[in-house]
Amino acid sequence: MAIPDPPCVVTSPDCPPASTPSTPGPPASTPSSPGPPASNPFFSGPPASTPFSPRPPASTPFSPGCPASTPSSSGPPASTPSSLSPPACTPSSPGPPASTPSTPGPPASMMAIPDPPCVVTSPDYCPPLGLKSLRVDDSQFQASSYLRMGLGPHRARLNIQSGIEDGDMYDGAWCAKYEDQHQWLQVDALRPTLFTGVILQGRNSIWSWDWVETYKVQLSNDSETWKTCMNGTEEAVFVGSRNEPETPYLALFPQPAVARWIRINPLTWYWNGTICLRAEVLGCPLPDPDNVWQHFSEKLSGSKDNLDFRHHNYKEMRKLMKAVNEECPRITRIYTIGKSYTGLKLYVMEISDNPGKHELGEPEFRYVAGMHGNEVVGRELVLNLMQYICREFRRGNPRIVRLVTTTRIHLLPSMNPDGYETAFEKGSELAGWALGRYSYEWVDMNHNFPDLNNIMWDAKENDTDVVKTANHYIPIPEYYTKEDAFVTPETRAVISWMQDIPFVLSANLHGGELVVTYPFDCTRDWAPQENTPTADDSFFRWLATVYASTNLVMANPDRRICHSEDFQQHNNIINGGAWHTVPGSMNDFSYMHTNCFEVTVELSCDKFPHASELPTEWENNKESLLVYMEQVHRGIKGVVRDKMTKKGIADAIVKVEDLDHDIRSAADGDYWRLLNPGEYKVTVWAEGYFPSMRRCNVGTEARPTICDFILIKTPRQRMNEILAKGGKLPQDLQLKLRPSIYMIILLWIREKIF
């Protein structure tokens, strides 16, 4: 059951008389009235003999002295995904009065919070309060008791993950110390809030199975007097997790209610476990008459950029990309690189001043998002980025104009569209931690690329002449290219894309953490964790630092860790192998099979945040996305040409002394070698040519040093080309070849004699 986002309508928390409904609408007994049906598995109502009414009639008191009002509308269908636009009463737009949907809300004088909590006209759903997204601070949690600090109330966040070892500071739930019905988890919303529901999940642990099966909800305006959520005259009992701890379960209140504090009071739990839970609370924040800074702070939240901040399914993604292309046809082009298992196309947006063509000397850049379908922040950021670049280019923003005219940019928003559609159907809060991560064939694509690391390491260990061992453009093993190889069509499509375009720099956008990882991802000797640097470790560290240091959340020294690992001690960057080994990663494959350097960016603690969080995610990452693209212009670049024909030489090998990783020139002879500032001895050679060496100085400016190379063909190569065309060898070439011919004759005579 997904969580839609209708506008939040609040007539008044002052409780209109039961006989005078604030808005017209069907009575609670009408079949079309909103709320879950009697068979709703998320709610346990009165006994079977008492028909369950989704909303009590106006004459049924929800709490003493405060009769329930009649709902104003039936609300959206349950199938509407939670990734739609946020309700009007999200933090950036307080709840409006029913009569004037576009106004900020009722005056402060109307917003006095009664005690007990008051039931008001409202939607069936409000956005998440922010337990999962960390918008709710640790200090806002309290609990009746907790088993230990690592299972404290601050760990009661939906989808929070534990470390491998239980018993540390970072376990996967709040767990009560005592097993009785007097335990509770409490959240302070910090302001009057219209609460509409709770989502519950069990404990995340590979060692224990614990979850809450049924619970009550209590509300308060002073944290001392508590009123239990009622269903008519009965205390409402809600159903929590069932049979396993990872699936989130939604429970909607029979009637929404205004309060500041909310408590979850477990009643029953898994018979072989203990009281443990992770939660999210649904609530529309309301104006607080006592907070004079509220309006100012809400104005600062969100984003000033007028972009399409919502979750886009496959069809909506295509529409947005088409709209950007129509808005900026001169600098954009949409193309596809293949299809998913179910036939969904993998769309790419190209942004360049000359779309559809590789320009000599212009580097190629790519962002890839959505490899794991449920990690959606990258998908939306890439869609926002193409909108932003288009509009800023039209406005004449010098930075964007320079980027577009000097770089060919490729944006793949969804590498795993099948997985995304699966997660999207459930919605941001109900997809859980893993639903939609894998391909339709249940493959983790970040383990699905050819493992070239061990091929290279084995070759170096077995070859006595290390100089001859390939350190780049390592070929794909034959078994991997067979039709029956266990390789997803999405992976094959991306590999072909990498081979067709001479990419220089890339980033793979993921979610679920806040860190930037760099190659190698795979460790040697299959160690589970081991720092495994590349020859370009210093530059990879620079790339990772550029993104992490400009990300507003990563750069915050006071930020909370996401789950169980504190990456701030590493400045929010880490070698992939030092985190955990990933054989067959896209980062490693890109580095070892192509010229392209690639890092992985874990963008957010929350893999699938609510749509109301997307403007903030954009602001957190906007500068990082731009400055990272600009790094494609660091180091050296140039063209390798034939001295006689002046034409570019393809596949020329560019070697930097003391760096055991070479690159190759593209089809037109141009090349790009990413390097940190310094002086480098660079040697270039190609088959049939003499090597050429020169020194190249790389400055600190964000622009490349031009280092062109002219190669001279060997006499033997010239001879072979002339003879292949049926021509005659010129006199000068014969003279150059003569010593070689004499040497061949002498060697033949020596062999015959001895």
Q: Which residues are catalytic?
A: 602
Q: What's 366's DSSP letter?
A: E
Handedness of CA 420, 425, 430, 434 (dihedral sign): negative
Q: Is the peptide bond before 256 cis (omega within 30 degrees of 0)?
A: no
DSSP string, 453-490: HHHHHHHHHH-S-GGGS--SSPPPPHHHHSTTSS--HH
Q: Rounded to whole angstroms, how far apart are CA atoms 83 and 85?
A: 7
CA-only gyration radius of the chain, Å:
31
Residue 258 φ/ψ, nearest 5 degrees:
-95, 130
Q: Rounded to whole angstroms, how far apart are CA atoms 410 and 416?
A: 17
- Of the candidates 246, 568, 593, 279, the one whose C-alpha atom is nearest the C-alpha of residue 437 is 246
Handedness of CA 745, 748, 753, 754 (dihedral sign): positive
Q: Which two tokens stand for residue 161?
A: 């993950």
Taking the CA atoms of residue 426, residue 428, residue 429 and residue 430 in that order, the dihedral angle to the nearest 10 degrees is: 20
Q: Using DSSP, how many helices (H) and how many strands (E) does the chain show?
A: 14, 30
The answer for residues whose C-beta is within 8 angstroms of residue 386's C-beta and 6 or more apart is 321, 324, 332, 349, 351, 411
Q: Which two tokens stand for residue 52?
A: 């369950």
What does DSSP say about strands 174-175 and 276-285: parallel, antiparallel, or unpaired? Answer: antiparallel
Distances (CA, A) of 365 to 213, 350, 498, 503, 628: 50, 10, 11, 6, 10
Beta strands in 594-676 (DSSP E): 597-602, 636-642, 653-656, 663-664, 670-673
Q: Which two tokens stand for residue 171?
A: 């376990």
CB 166 within 8 A of CB 208: yes
